[in-house]
Structure 1
Amino acid sequence: MTEASTVRFYRDNGYVLVKGLLSREEAAAYREECHAVLARLRRTDPTWGSARELAGRPTELRHCHDAQFYSAAFARLMVDSRFTDLAAALMGSENVQLHHTKIFVKPAEKGSPFPMHQDAAHFPHTRHTVGAAIFHFDDAPEEKGCVRVVPGSHRGGPLPHIEEGGWHLPLSEWPLEAAVPVEAEAGDVLFLTYLTVHGSGVNRADEARTTLLIQFRDPEDAPADDVHHSRGQGMMLRGVDPTIRGG
């Protein structure tokens, strides 16, 4: 797709899969870096309680917040113009500011799912420019628990979420299996608005699913609540922060 058609698809549907933004060789190197970082950290499992209910069996998830503070490889990726120029175009802003980053690894055969939700429920903003870029460092077919989306759901604005078990939408009203699977290959990047309803299934494959999430915003889009702080939040990935005055 051209940049114009990519932007149009994103704004109409609330998501767009950008094929081959990274080469498969680059993706493989980042995959190795993700697993090396996680191997150095204390093991934690952020699986939501409701996700275990959804899976119907024991599952696991490995993750790491603020990946750029553990490896310079991710600091370089955050300011790669292939990513930042496209993020700017999707938002319609010259300036791209960091909200947070996360490594997510769904282990082979038992990687935890995510019930359907909007990211906006976790860190609401006033202008709703916030977006996510999910970098795929290995192939993510449906069998590996790829992301699933509800196209156009961003147009309904913020929805009420259930706090118990992980801050998600009602499971009966938003079944995971009814959402559209977005299968991806290593090097692809899935962009989502933070109002787009999405989730992901269980990884049943014999290989882990490895991704990096970069959440970004227009610096003029102020948080609506004082929540979800992270190290490096507010770092400019592209352009300038026009809200800064004086010194």
Structure 2
Amino acid sequence: MTITPARAELSSLAAQYDEQGFVLVKGLLSKEEAAYYRGRSHDLLAQLNREDDPTWQSAMGLADGATRLQHLHDAQFYDAEFAKLLVDPRFTDVAAAVMQVENVQLHHTKLFVKPPENGSPFPLHQDYPFFPHQYHRVGAAIFHFDDAPVEKGCVRVIPGSHKSGPREHDPEGSFHLTDVPFDDATPQPAEAGDVLFFTYLTVHGSGVNVSDQPRTTWLVQYRDPSDPPTVKTHEWSLGQGMMLRGVDPTGRSNV
């Protein structure tokens, strides 16, 4: 098991996050841990046998043909190993540091597997319009359970895009951005065990998996419990309001 980042490293990560809107933390999990979670992810999806495909309709313009995607909301309610990872200090200490807060609260999680050869892309977007909050102290962490090079459809970001605040999205196209070319985004290739942290105002997306291997990731959306939502969304997400680090000084829980 790798160790929690030291205070000086956390400060450096927070500075990059503040300037760029994201930071890729290398080796937050060991290769062995990442492989373990990759196996549990694929076993869980096979066990539950979910047939729904969350591919955005607006993703079709980024691929030559039909694509597909496997996913599962709130894996921690199906497998306790994911619940352990949610409160792992290696993760929660970085989440607190980059948001510059003491307390970290869960919003929701999503497990994604991009199948080989035609794993679905995500058009460029902000997470903001899906669950807006008053002070924008909301972030995401993408755990990479296997390698995610460019050909696997790794995450892409627009550095510094969070500084412009909320942007107008196209609600007819799954809230994608219509005025930012996909090629303007910078690929963030990652290795198994790396975790990408970014604010929900950072413009991001991902490409098609054209490789011969799946890409397995776990997305954790978290927030400062003192930052109230301006619209009630994701109320069906299991565990919303769970404290991952510290305490909730408001007593609001999942509202």
TM-score (norm 1): 0.96
Question: C-alpha displacement at 1:72, in angstroms?
Answer: 0.5
RMSD over equivalenced CA pairs, Å: 1.1
Aligned counterpart for 1:228 among listed residues 204, 227, 234:
234
Is 1:61 paired with 2:69?
A: yes
Instruction: Give the whole-Å Cα distance in 1 for the aligned partners of 2:51 and 2:201.
Output: 30
Q: Which stretch of the first structure deviates more once superposed, 2-11 or 191-200?
A: 2-11
Task: Say if 2:62 and 2:208, in contact at 8 Å, map to a contact too.
Answer: no
Shift of 1:2: 1.8
Unpaired runs of 5+ in structure 1?
A: none
1:215 is matched with which residue: 212, 221, 231?
221
Question: Distance in 2 between the 1:235 and 1:241 partners?
Answer: 9
The offset of 1:44, in angstroms, is 1.3
Show the counterpart of 2:251.
244
Residue 21 of structure 1 deviates from its aligned partner by 0.2
The residue number in structure 1 matching 2:5 is none
For residues 174 and 29 of structure 2, the distance between their equivalents in structure 1, rounded to whole angstroms, comes to 32
Query: Is the contact between residue 146 and residue 216 of structure 2 (CA under 8 Å) also seen in structure 1?
Result: yes
| Count of residue correspondences | 243
Matches within 5 A, 1:140-155: 140-155=148-163
Taking the TM superposition and a 5 Å limit, the aligned residue runs for 1:101-180 are: 101-170=109-178, 173-180=179-186
Gaps of 5+ in 2: 1-7
- Determine helix, strand or coil for the equivalent of 1:85: helix
d(CA) in 2 for partners of 1:84, 1:227? 23
2:55 paired residue among 43, 47, 52: 47
Q: Secondary structure at the match of 2:172?
A: coil
AA aligned opposite 1:34: S
Q: Distance in 1 between matches of 2:44 and 2:175?
A: 27
Please give the residue correspondences for 1:10-25 in structure 2 after superposition, counting only pairs within 5 Å. 10-25=17-32
Matched, 1:197 2:203: yes
Task: Give 1:141 shift.
Answer: 0.4
- Opposite residue 105 of structure 1, the aligned amino acid is V
State the alpha-carbon separation in 2 of the partners of residues 160 and 72 from structure 1: 38
State the distance in 1 between where 2:72 and 2:251 align: 30
Distance in 2, matches of 1:219 and 1:115, equals 29
Which residue of structure 1 lines up, in the alignment, with residue 190 of structure 2? 184
1:14-57, Cα deviation, whole Å (9 max, x unpaired) = 00000000000000000011111111222210000110222131
* Percent identity for Structure 1 against Structure 2: 65
C-alpha distance in 2 between matches for 1:52 and 1:35: 25
1:163 and 1:57 mapped to 2: Cα distance? 23
CA distance in 1, matches of 2:80, 2:246: 21
**Segments of 4+ moved more than 2 angstroms:** none
How far residue 175 of structure 1 moved from its aligned partner, in angstroms, is 1.6
- Secondary structure of 1:105's counterpart equals strand
Deviations 1:175-225 (A, max 9, x none): 212110000000000001000000000000000000000100000000010
